[in-house]
Structure formats: C-alpha cells, structure tokens
Amino acid sequence: MEQILVLGGGAAGIAAAISAAESAPAGTKVVLIEQNPRIGKKLLATGNGRCNLDNTGISPERYFSSDPQTMARMLGSMEDPLQWFHSHGLLTRTDPEGRVYPYSNQATDFLNLLLYWLERLGVEIKVNCSVKSITQKNGSYRVETDQGQFTARSVICAFGGQAGPQFGTNGFGCELMKSLGLHVQSEYPCLVATQCDKPRPSGLAGIRAKAAVTLTDGEKFIAREEGEVQFTDQGLSGIVIMQLSNYLKPKGGPRRPILHIDLFPSCTEQELVNILRQRIKLMPGATAEELMTGFIHKRIGSAVWKATRLPGRLSPSDLPTLARTFKDWQFAGLTPLGWQQAQTTGGGMTLSQVDEESFMVRSMPDLYVVGETLDAAGSCGGFNLHWAFGSGITAGRHAATHLPSANHKKR
C-alpha cells in the first residue's frame, strides 16, 4: 500500500491531507501527524475566534518575501482556497474590507467541517507525535518520530513557523529544512505590536485612534498604512502597526526605523492650524487641556501637547507647531515584540528551492513544503491562511496524483 505522510496539523497540513486523500488512487493511505494533543489549535484563535480564513483582495503586494517574483507566481498558480471551501460545504460571509469568515462566525464550525472531511476520507490522524528527522532512501522517505518510524512515497511538510508558541508551534520546520541541506532565510516575528523607547507613550494604554502611520528609515520612506492605532504600555499596536512590523526584519530591514503618526489624515497641516485658530476664538483663555475637549481624546491630546513642549496656554504663534505634531507625531527606538505576540513568521525556506506549481522541493522529489515554513508572510486579514490553505491543497493534490499507481481519482 502506498502512503502519503502529512507532517503538521495546522491549516496547511489539514488542507493537504484532505486534498491528498480525495485525489489519490483507491487504497492509498494518508496519515496526518501532529505533535499537539489535537489538530487545528491555532486555527481556532484566528479572527478572535471567528476564523478569518481568506480575503477577496489577494495580491502579491499583500505579502512579504525575499523573493517576491517567485512568491507572486506561486500565489497565482496555487488552487483557490475559497472555491475549495465552498465545494466542501462551507458557507461564508465577507465583510466590507474583503475579510472572509464562516457564515456562522465560529472557527469551531469551520474546524469541525474539516474534521468531517478527514474522517470521511479515511485520513489517519496521529496526535502527540513529534517528528525527529526525515531521510530519503530507495525512492521513499523514512520519518522518525517519538512514536516510531513511518515510511512513505510522498511527504508533505506543514510544520508552520515560530509565531504563537502558545499554540504549539516551535520553529522545528525550518531547523529540519536546514538539516536536509536546504536554505532558510532568518526568521523574525511578523504582524506584531512594537515597543517604542523614544518616546514611550505612557498613560495611553488601551486607547485607540484612527490615524495614518508612515514608517521611515531615517528620512527614507518605506510604507504607509491607514486605520486604527492602539497605544500600549510598551508602545504601539493595532492593525496598521502590525502591518508595518513586517518591514522590521533584523537583517536587511531599516537601520533607523521611525513611525510617523498622522492623527488627522483628512486635513492638511494648514487646515488644522485654521481649525485650532477657530477653537482659540471660541474658547478664549482656555488651557491646552480645555482646548482638546471635544477635539481629540483627552489623554492623546495631552501627550501630543507634551511632545510639542509648548507652554500651558496656546497663542496663535504656537498653532503651527501643534498642528505639525498632530500630523507627524514621531516614535523611534522601535523593537517588535516576540514570537508569543506575533501572528505569523517572516523569513523561512527560500521559495526558489520549491517548484512553483506543486510546492515540491526541487532537489528532493516527492517531498513538499507548504504554509508558514516558506518565506512568505502575508498582511492581516486572511492573507496568511490563504497562503496556508492554498499551498496545502495544491501540494496534497500533486502528491496524490503523481504516485506511481495514480490512475484515477476518488472522492
């Protein structure tokens, strides 16, 4: 009996196992191996338990990789996860930003549907089973685990990355790739909040504000995002900050990263000066704190005021300085938080080592690498799960249909 092993029970591994099982010749055994007590643990946490499983705005520009050209071709050639979900009975809903969720808004419902297909297709699941090594011999692979040795014609590696160790991830996938002689880009936390030392926004923890945020390297522009910023005890968070954190890689990233927060992106600096001038006329003799009332969150206004180092009462000559700071409140000394706070992994196995249409390792036939282990990190909003599911579905189908005995498909 021919066998396909899928190593890793996250999004990519589950998709690969289902895809392989429904595409393989009759009699083929598909085994899914997971080191945790259950599969899909991290999937349950996505989208705050709602499972933001895809996005309708998929494009190469929403991903980060050291090889963006190869990544774009792989993204274009992989199977469409959303169509695949629908063909397997999932009803979805899409929000105005293009984020796709199960119609029930419950990650558990989605996972239960995937578990149904694994059971229906006869996929064997082994949990609490940690992979130790992979070796190739005589046209097959031997996988050593703490539950013994497995032999398979094809192996799909879906180990994930280092982000979210509380969900059972540990970065083993990239270490294993290195042991096989494959090249791995240095990994770093992505989609993560950022510490700021210059200044540290004390007294603002938990406050949110709509803003446009620009990341620069000194004076050099890198990227701009617009949306919600959340202040923390250590620095800055929120979707826009997490998006920009993807650029803060330790090797090749900005040397002097600075975040510039524009709290009034719909106004020019001069328009903001005029608004402040009208407030002085409306509230003569008011203190700076009083002038902020009804204008912006009291504590944000106070923090911006302190950053300007202006006196306690505004004069018309102070307005350009205040407006400039509202439009360009700068934070430096940036340090992304660690793996436990990160949503995904930057870096990973370089894409040029993988066939663009199948995710098979070029130098090791019938060995596939999918998901977060690869050097492709997406933006917030379902982009990383699109990559995970799409690569898993594609690799699973290719592995199944390229077995020597493959002469028909089953469902």
Is 278 inside a domain boundary? Answer: yes
Buried b (16+ CB within 10 A) or exposed e, 198-226: eeebeebeebeeebbbbbbeeeeeeebbe
Of 163-177, 348-362, 382-396, the least confident: 163-177
130 and 18 housed in the same domain: yes
pLDDT above 90 coverage of the chain, percent: 80
The residue segments making up the domain with residue 226 are: 193-337
Per-residue pLDDT at 234: 85
Could you tell me the pLDDT band of residue 97, with boundaries at 50, 70 and 90? very high
Q: How confident is the model at residue 134 (pLDDT cuts 50, 70, 90)?
A: very high
pLDDT of residue 137: 86
In this predicted structure, the answer to whether residue 61 has a pLDDT above a threshold of 90 is yes
pLDDT of 408 above 60:
no
Number of domains observed in the structure of the chain: 2
Q: What is the pLDDT of residues 141-157, one digit of tens each?
A: 999 999 999 999 999 99
Looking at the domain assignment, is residue 168 inside a domain?
yes
The residue among 303, 337, 371 that closes a domain is 337
63 shares its domain with 103: yes
Q: Are residues 332 and 351 in the same domain?
A: no
Asked, for residue 203, whether it belongs to a domain, the answer is: yes
Closest listed residue to residue 152, CA positions, set 279, 61, 29 = 29
Is there a domain that residue 71 lies in?
yes
Which percentage of the chain shows pLDDT scores above 70? 98
Please give the mean pLDDT across all residues of the chain.
93
pLDDT of residue 167: 86
Say if residue 87's pLDDT is above 90. yes
Q: Please state the rounded mean pLDDT for residues 285-292.
A: 83
Q: Residue 46 maps to which CATH number?
A: 3.50.50.60
The answer to the question of residue 146 being in a domain is yes
Check whether residue 12 and residue 118 sit in a common domain. yes
Give 181-211 pLDDT, tens digit per residue.
Answer: 999 999 999 999 999 987 777 789 999 999 9
Domain match, 39 and 172 both: yes
pLDDT at 139 over 90: no
Same domain (yes/no): 164, 219: no
- Neighbour-count burial of 26, counting CB atoms closer than 10 A to its CB (0-12 exposed, 13-18 middle, 19+ buried): exposed
- In this prediction, residue 321 carries a pLDDT of 94
- pLDDT of 201 reads 75
**Per-residue confidence (pLDDT) for residue 300, from 0 to 100:** 93
Residue 219 lies in a domain: yes
On whether both 185 and 204 belong to a single domain, the answer is no
Entry pTM: 0.91
Q: What's the confidence (pLDDT) of residue 1?
A: 55
* Cβ–Cβ < 8 Å for 71, 351: yes
Which of 316, 337, 358 corresponds to the end of one domain? 337
Domain assignment of residue 407, yes or no: no
Q: Is 159 found in the same domain as 221?
A: no
Does 293 or 288 have the greater pLDDT score? Answer: 293
The last residue of one of the domains, among 322, 337, 352, is: 337
Q: How confident is the model at residue 411 (pLDDT cuts 50, 70, 90)?
A: very low
- Whether 293 and 352 map to the same domain: the answer is no
Question: Is residue 148 classed exposed, middle or buried when 0-12, 13-18 and 19+ CB atoms within 10 A define those classes?
Answer: exposed
Q: Are residues 110 and 200 in the same domain?
A: no
Point out the least confidently predicted range of 100-114, 300-314, 345-359.
300-314
Whether 351 and 326 map to the same domain: the answer is no
Kindly state whether residues 111 and 173 are assigned to the same domain. yes
